[in-house]
Amino acid sequence: MSDNARILCPVLSKRLMSAEEAAELIPAGANVGMSGFTGAGYPKAIPGALADRIRRLNAEPNAKPFRINVWTGASTAPELDGVLAEVDGIEMRLPFQSDPICRSRINNGTMDYVDYHLSEVSQYAWSGFLGKMDIALIEVAGIREDGSLIPSSSIGNNKTWIEQADKIILEVNSKQNAKLEGMHDVYYGTALPPNRKPIMLTDPSDRIGEKYLACPPEKVIAVVETAAPDRNSPFKPSDDVSKKIAGHILDFFNKEIELGRLPKELLPIQSGVGNIPNAVLEGLDAGPYKGLTAFTEVIQDGMLKMLKSGTLKVASATAFSLSPDGIAEFDENIDFYRDKIILRQQDISNHPELARRLGVIAMNGLIECDLYGNVNSTHIMGTRMMNGIGGSGDFARNGYLSIFVSPSTAKDGAISAIVPMVSHVDHTEHDVKIIVTEQGLADLRGLSPRQRAHEIINKCAHPDFRPALIDYYERALHSGRGMHTPHLLEEALSWHQRYEETGQM
């Protein structure tokens, strides 16, 4: 039994055990659905205990490698992805990661990885496309008397994992603010086709579901107490490049308002995680805007500041992604933030139907973009995985405006972010409306491929690479091949080839 005030269900408090004991309940080869989204709400103790067990077992003579398949909401933290990847304990990882050890295993071929649109993962699980889920390992902020769960700092895929798993293990984290209770909105109206109904959410502030996660107590095989904070890196202060990018976007918004194409409160904003999106939020906060809304995936530090100043009136997301300072600010002022932030499961926070209906302004990062507006968000030089597509496709394809941002060069100017042809495509030319670098903003709406090439080269390319891009485009145009989307096929990826061979594009 537990005297923990966070564990009120008598049946479940009898299943209390240590992280090491709980880790023993996870068999080799299991499909394990874990909580966690962008460094928030991930289990903090059992993955480490499991990694110790894997290390021990794998060191035994003639050991058969012990590995599991790890499905989450999105990225987690070193205490989950890092520790399990370090002991080579992950066979298959999905749907998103940003961990350096995972990344290197994915790229050296010792870990399989599938990156999915984050809104779609639960549908894949419900449909059985991913196989049977054996165990769900979920961090919660508390267990109520009736066995229902108070979600933690992210919801992600937790509703789906709890429904789909044969067995459930809970980590009850007393470090999570108890006042998170009531901030969540878990929607139980989803279904597989042909039984789907419209999702009746017409404003980011709407609540359409329950405050708690339903959980059948008979499936819970272990409860573990933890007291550890979420972990995210602090943001870099805005530099000159990110300030310039933010400036171009703000000028663009102001012009669209003047033209009557955006209301003065804009439309619900979605902002990817990262230093540049955070700088854009800072820019918006310093501007004339009031009463904006966010329909997004994660709440980062910039959004807290915008809520504080009244620039933003409400934010809907699936998770927090706060720096240590951001967590402290949130914890100290949770009474202020409680009714302004709604956390939903990721199949709702990122739902294509909702992004389209609300007319989201999607702002995400890119690795490279080509002359015609195709965007690569995931692969370095076409073969090496960076993080994954995450929610960028959910919002970019379905949003009212899809904006992609990046410095015009990478690696101290050795790489151009604007290339003749992208080495991998995540967002096609059909989904990309605006490209922004520190050089300028290319508005691709209503432009043909050839017009787009002019706009992107002139507005976004770094001057060091502009002449070579123009030269490529002109030669492609006059090569006697197709004039709709001119390319020199033998040269299209030569910039990447040159970088691999010489370290300079």
Alpha-carbon span 172 to 15, nearest angstrom: 12
Alpha-carbon span 134 to 168, nearest angstrom: 9
Residue 274 within binding range of ligand COA, rule CB under 6 A: yes
Of 312 and 415, which CB lies nearer to ligand COA in the complex structure? 415
Print the binding letters for residues 295-334 with ligand COA: x by CB under 6 A, - otherwise. --xx------------------------------------
Stretch touching ligand COA by CB under 6 A, among 77-85, 307-315, 358-366, 476-484? 358-366
Of 134 and 438, which CB lies nearer to ligand COA in the complex structure? 438
The distance of closest approach from Cβ of residue 333 to ligand COA in the complex, given in angstroms and rounded to an integer, is 24
The distance of closest approach from Cβ of residue 391 to ligand COA in the complex, given in angstroms and rounded to an integer, is 4
Torsion sign, CA atoms 320, 324, 329, 335: positive
Stretch touching ligand COA by CB under 6 A, among 123-131, 227-235, 309-317, 404-412? 404-412
Of 66 and 295, which CB lies nearer to ligand COA in the complex structure? 295
The distance of closest approach from Cβ of residue 412 to ligand COA in the complex, given in angstroms and rounded to an integer, is 9
Cβ of 129: how many Cβ atoms within 10 Å? Answer: 10
Active-site residue (options: 297, 368, 438, 455): 297
Residue 134 within binding range of ligand COA, rule CB under 6 A: no
Residue 365 within binding range of ligand COA, rule CB under 6 A: yes
The distance of closest approach from Cβ of residue 394 to ligand COA in the complex, given in angstroms and rounded to an integer, is 8
Residue 420 within binding range of ligand COA, rule CB under 6 A: no
Sequence-distant (≥ 6) Cβ neighbours of residue 203 within 8 angstroms:
293, 358
- 330 SS3 class: helix
The DSSP secondary-structure symbol of 37 reads: B
- 76 SS3 class: coil
Q: How buried is 412 (Cβ within 10 angstroms: 0-12 exposed, 13-18 middle, 19+ buried)?
A: exposed
The distance of closest approach from Cβ of residue 494 to ligand COA in the complex, given in angstroms and rounded to an integer, is 15
Sequence-distant (≥ 6) Cβ neighbours of residue 123 within 8 angstroms:
192, 347
Cα-based distances in Å from 176 to 142, 165, 337, 450, 469? 9, 24, 15, 53, 51
Residue 245 within binding range of ligand COA, rule CB under 6 A: no
Of 48 and 365, which CB lies nearer to ligand COA in the complex structure? 365
Among 368, 370, 438, 455, binds ligand COA (CB under 6 A): 368
Question: How many residues line the site for ligand COA (CB under 6 A)?
Answer: 26
Of 76 and 377, which CB lies nearer to ligand COA in the complex structure? 377
Alpha-carbon span 271 to 66, nearest angstrom: 38
- Among 232, 308, 222, 317, smallest CA distance to 268 is for 317
In order, the DSSP letters of 420-470 are SS-SS-SB-TTT--EEEETTEEEE-TT--HHHHHHHHHHHHS-TTTHHHHH
Residue 102 within binding range of ligand COA, rule CB under 6 A: no
Residue 391 within binding range of ligand COA, rule CB under 6 A: yes
Among 12, 133, 143, 366, binds ligand COA (CB under 6 A): 366
Bridge partner list, 140: 151
Among 399, 407, 420, 486, binds ligand COA (CB under 6 A): 407
Read off the amino acid at residue 47.
P
Alpha-carbon span 272 to 256, nearest angstrom: 22
Residue 268 within binding range of ligand COA, rule CB under 6 A: no
Of 121 and 170, which CB lies nearer to ligand COA in the complex structure? 121
Q: Which two tokens stand for residue 191?
A: 């279904």
Which helix (H) or strand (E) element contains residue 497?
Answer: helix 494-502
Of 201 and 366, which CB lies nearer to ligand COA in the complex structure? 366
455 is catalytic: no
- In 258-297, the DSSP E strands lie at 269-271, 292-295
Residue 367 within binding range of ligand COA, rule CB under 6 A: yes
Q: Which residue is nearest to ligand COA (CB)?
A: 365
The DSSP secondary-structure symbol of 64 reads: P
Among 48, 209, 373, 390, binds ligand COA (CB under 6 A): 390
Cα-based distances in Å from 290 to 230, 263, 264, 265, 307? 30, 11, 8, 6, 10
Among 33, 82, 272, 373, binds ligand COA (CB under 6 A): 272
Stretch touching ligand COA by CB under 6 A, among 47-55, 102-110, 176-184, 407-415? 407-415
The distance of closest approach from Cβ of residue 102 to ligand COA in the complex, given in angstroms and rounded to an integer, is 13
Q: How far is CA 483 from the centre of its chain?
A: 37
The distance of closest approach from Cβ of residue 355 to ligand COA in the complex, given in angstroms and rounded to an integer, is 12
Residue 425 within binding range of ligand COA, rule CB under 6 A: no
Sequence-distant (≥ 6) Cβ neighbours of residue 151 within 8 angstroms:
41, 140, 141, 158, 180, 184, 186, 212, 213, 343
Residue 392 within binding range of ligand COA, rule CB under 6 A: yes
Write out the residues near ligand COA by the rule CB under 6 A.
272-276, 297-298, 364-368, 377, 380, 386-387, 389-392, 406-407, 410-411, 415, 417
**Catalytic sites, residue numbers:** 297
